[in-house]
Structure 1
Amino acid sequence: MAINRIPFSKPASSPEQLLQKLERQGLVVDDFKRGQARNYMRFVGGYRLKGYWHHLVDPVTKNFPAGYRFEQIVSRCEFDRELRALTMAAVERLEIAVRVVMANHLSLKHSPHWFLDGNLFRQGRRQGAAELVAKIEAEVDRARDKTFVKHYFSRYSEPHLPPSWSVCECVTFGLWSRTYQLLKNPDDRKAISRRFNVDATEVFESWIHTLTVVRNMVAHSGQLLRVTLGVAPRDYRKADIRFSDSKSFYAVATVINYLLRQIGLPLEWSEQLKALFAKYPEVHLAEIGFPIDWGNRPGWL
């Protein structure tokens, strides 16, 4: 069905004008909070802040609920910001774990330069393997100023790339996720996933792909509150992990918690979430897909 489009004609408004507009729509801004409100409008931005309140206004009048205060918007914004920071720290821990486990297993079983062996990747996907090497070459080239990369090229003539344990410090998490997807030998895939206590390789593949998408999202300050994610981790039935909404943040958080518990390194993800939820009781957990009894569900126990 054709959509009738019109030229964009909205004028730009200053932060002060936007704040005044919100007040006309019924938003309460106390005098002693006005300076803070201006700073949020100036340095966070009215358009970004709208992501935290647009669902609250009357669809016809565009007015806020009676008595709704600017600091309530601030709480929602700060909750989301702190949730992103916690998520980034947790995913970073898992990113390093995944790439080290993959590099160690494949280097020990095949060779330190296993990624140059096209036979390790699925038949019919040689182009994928070639693209993989090309991306590694590009990432290593960008990292030429790093001490460990300089050392390799100053000492060794071949292969033309450093070994896997060096390369893994250069390339992106997305590339490691793609590498796992391309691996041909099911024994290699299973050996890697089992280090994280996941027997189903298709589940592990979907989980690390999900983590790469979420990592990029939070790295670019994407909103998590009231957002449907564009990626869905698979259920892991062996561990009784099933998601009623696999595109919710709760699904991602469950994957993060399960994997963190398998590696046994210090990062109290579930406790950090509990502390965050207690700090912002006005934010409903359902807005990020968390059930009330989330701490007692599979993946969290």
Structure 2
Amino acid sequence: MIYQGGSMLFSKPATTIEQQLEFLKDRGMGGDVELQRRWLETVGYYRLSAYWLPFETAPAVGQTRTKRFRDGVEFEQIVDIYVFDRKLRLLVMEAIERIEIALRSRWTNRLSLASGAHAYLDADVFSGGFDHPLRVSQLSGRVKSSREVFVEHYQKRYRRPFLPPLWIVSELMTLGELSRWIADTEDRSLQSDLAKDIGLPSSTTLIGTLHLLSYVRNICAHHGRLWNRKTAKRLPLIKRFQSDLVVTETVTKGGIQRQPDNYIYNVLVALTRLIRHQSPDSSYPDRVVELMRKRSNADLSAMGFPEDWLERPCWVLKAN
């Protein structure tokens, strides 16, 4: 490694597929070499490394990684987890999409009825800390570049206002943008009603849940790893979900702080609860259970699943 001025400079050269195959062999990876070659070519060494990292031997004190695989590790195990993770992302994205669309519809309807079709253009409808001019400018740019039929129809037929009504522009918002518009809606009673619409008890839990779901959606949209990931954001402690959630306790100066842990299990609980509120006869919980029942206890533990998860209310209604 090269050092300059106290800062480490990156000096790793690019490697060929053949070199990468040698790395895996030298580090103790077993399995079909042609399978390894195909996955290295089509998925990539770097992306796959996140999945085989847990199969490496434990590092010594002060060591980050050993880059040595435990005895008996086969490349087929890595492929199995990668494929499972892809199926998990699809299930998570499906639920987030349904929740996002329901939320968008409810917010648009409630806000436009309360403050007019172009409510989003009125800065007084939003809290003072919200950068309203910037948000409107961003939406204006989105509208200008859009080729959606409903946008073009508005532009051809109407001269004023220049921007379309809320129910059109909201369709151009990402989930992250939608969550920020909702969080800064001045009418707190509207926020509370919106929370109840989608199955949450309060505006506070609504905003916290949206922040987490936006974060998870971005991971999925970029094909990121969900299996064994700790999320940077946590679900709020929602009392009506507590019998399903895995909650940790931390001793602080102010006493014991209880909060949901930040593994994917709690995200699945929230998604399943919200989907059930929206559609009580949904097959979604069954499909989550079906996918998870095929995984080992070690895999489930890596996702934060408690040992008694199948006995918890969230899953027991349809799982057995």
Please say whether Structure 1 and Structure 2 have the same fold, judged by a TM-score greater than 0.5.
yes
Task: Give 1:139's match in structure 2, choosing from 139, 142, 151.
Answer: 142
Q: Offset of 1:225 from its aligned partner?
A: 1.7
Q: Offset of 1:170 from its aligned partner?
A: 1.4
Q: Indicate the residue corresponding to 1:175 in structure 2.
A: 177
Change (3 A) 1:252 1:167: same
Letter in 1 for 2:117: P
Q: Does 1:286 align with 2:286?
A: no
Partners of 1:195 and 1:247 in 2: CA distance? 25
Q: Indicate the residue corresponding to 1:216 in structure 2.
A: 218
1:164-203 pair list within 5 angstroms:
164-203=166-205
Judging by fraction of residues, say which structure has more strand: 2
Q: Does 1:246 align with 2:261?
A: yes
Q: Indicate the residue corresponding to 1:98 in structure 2.
A: 103
1:116-155 pair list within 5 angstroms:
116-122=121-127, 124-125=128-129, 127-143=130-146, 145-155=147-157
1:21-100 pair list within 5 angstroms:
21-29=23-31, 33-58=32-57, 59=59, 62-100=67-105
- The answer (yes or no) to whether the contact 1:240–1:298 under 8 Å persists in 2 is no
> CA-to-partner distance for each residue in 1:97-139, whole Å, 9 max, x for gaps?
11111001111222111111211112x32x5222222222122
Higher relative contact order (CA 8 A, sep 6+): 1
Partners of 1:270 and 1:129 in 2: CA distance? 39
Letter in 2 for 1:116: L
Q: Offset of 1:197 from its aligned partner?
A: 2.5
Task: Give 2:22's match in structure 1, choosing from 20, 23, 44.
Answer: 20
Partners of 1:237 and 1:299 in 2: CA distance? 13
Letter in 2 for 1:53: W
> Normalised by the size of structure 2, how large is the TM-score?
0.85
Q: Does 1:276 align with 2:300?
A: no
Q: Does 1:110 align with 2:115?
A: yes
Q: Offset of 1:182 from its aligned partner?
A: 0.3
Q: Offset of 1:265 from its aligned partner?
A: 7.5
How many residue pairs are counted as aligned between the two chains?
Answer: 293
- The answer (yes or no) to whether the contact 1:27–1:70 under 8 Å persists in 2 is yes
Letter in 2 for 1:214: V
Secondary structure at the aligned position of 1:169 is classed as helix
Partners of 2:54 and 2:187 in 1: CA distance? 48
Change (3 A) 1:161 1:106: same
Change (3 A) 1:246 1:137: farther
Unaligned ranges ≥5, structure 2: 61-65, 249-259
Work out the percentage of aligned pairs sharing the same amino acid: 32
Across the aligned residues of Structure 1 and Structure 2, the Cα RMSD in angstroms comes to 2.1
Letter in 2 for 1:264: S
Change (3 A) 1:299 1:180: farther
Partners of 1:267 and 1:82 in 2: CA distance? 18
Change (3 A) 1:159 1:298: farther
